Structure 1
C-alpha cells in the first residue's frame, strides 16, 4: 500500500477510524496532530469524525551531527524522554545532549505560539483523544507525546497513523489504549518511502488547518 500524499492517507485512515468509532461508545472526541506532517492527515480524520482539530507540538532530539536519527523527544515543558538503550549503544549521555534539548525546546515554544496565536491548549481530561501523525518510524516523538497526554487523564488515548514500522507499532501499544496503523510493511525503512508526494508541510498550511477546524473555546461559566 502506497499513498499519493498525506491528504489521501488521511482519508484512508479516517475510513478505518469511522469503523472503529462505530464499535465503541465514544464521546467528546479530540483529534490532535503532530505537526507539521501529521496535520494534513489529521485534518481528514477530524472532518470524518466531526471532531475539532488541534496540534501537540513535539520535537525530536537527534544525534549530534545526525539530527535525523532520533534518540529522544520533548513535549511542552516535560523533561526529555530518551531511548536509553540507544544512548548506551552510542556511548552518549543525557548531559551531552543538553544543548540540543535547549535548542529544540525554544523551537517547540516558537511553533506552539505561532500555531495557536494565543489560543489555549485544548482540554484533554476525560476526552477521547486521537493522536495522528503521517507515519511511525522510531516512535520517539509519539512515545513522548503519548506520555504527555496520559498524564492529563484522557478518557481514551488512541494513536492513529497511515503507515509505520511493525515493531514500533507494537511498542506503542504500551502507551496508548488503541493503536491504528493501516500499513505495517515488513521492509519498512522510512515514512517517506510510502508516499508519492512527501513534500514538507508549511507553517501556513498548519495555521490554515487549525483556523478551520480547531477546538472552540470553552463556554463561559
Structure 2
C-alpha cells in the first residue's frame, strides 16, 4: 500500500500596504495550519521605539551614527502572552506590544525602516527565523527581499480610507483616541515612503497573488487564504 506523502512545510510571505490587516490574516492563517507567525513590521517598530526612547530621532531625522553603534544592543523576540496566547513583541526583554502600535511610533517608523543597516540587520534576523520553514511572515518586502523563493506570496491592498478606518477602530478598541484625518495622512505618507525608498521598496513580487480586501469580511479573507495555501501545498506533494 502506498503511503501518503507528508504535507510539505513552506514559507508564506504576506506583503502589502500598511493597515491592510496583514498581521490579522497572517496570524489567523498560521494558527489554522499550525505554523509560526512572525510580524516583521513589529521588528522595525521596536527599533523605532528604541530610537524614540533614546533620543535618536529629531523630526524625521534619525541619528544614524549613534543608532549604528547601538544596533547590537537591540534584541527583539516574540513570545506568547500568558493570558491571551497571542504573540507579543519584546524589546530587550520588555513587552512593548502596546507601545509599538501607538501613533507616536507609527509616525516615525518609516524614516527608521529605510535605513540600510537597520534593514540589513532585520532581514538577517528574519531569514534566520525562516530556516526551518513552516512560517507565515508579513511585512513590506518579505516576498521580494527576505524570502524571494517563498512558496506562497500574497500581496495585500485596500483603499487608504478603508485602511484608515480599520486603524482607527483598532486603536480605539485599545483605548487610544485618534483622529481619522490624521490616520489617513499618516497612511498616505507611509505609502509614499515605502514605495519610493531606495532600500527594498514596497512592490508586488512578480509571482505574488494580489488580494484586495477592501470589501471582504474576515471570514471571506481567511477562506481565500486557506484556498491559496491548499493549492500551493497540493502542487508540492
Provide the TM-score with structure 2 as the length reference: 0.27
Name the structure, 1 or 2, with higher relative contact order (CA <8 Å, separation 6+): 2
Larger helix share, 1 or 2: 2
Higher Rg of the two aligned structures: 2
Provide the TM-score with structure 1 as the length reference: 0.28
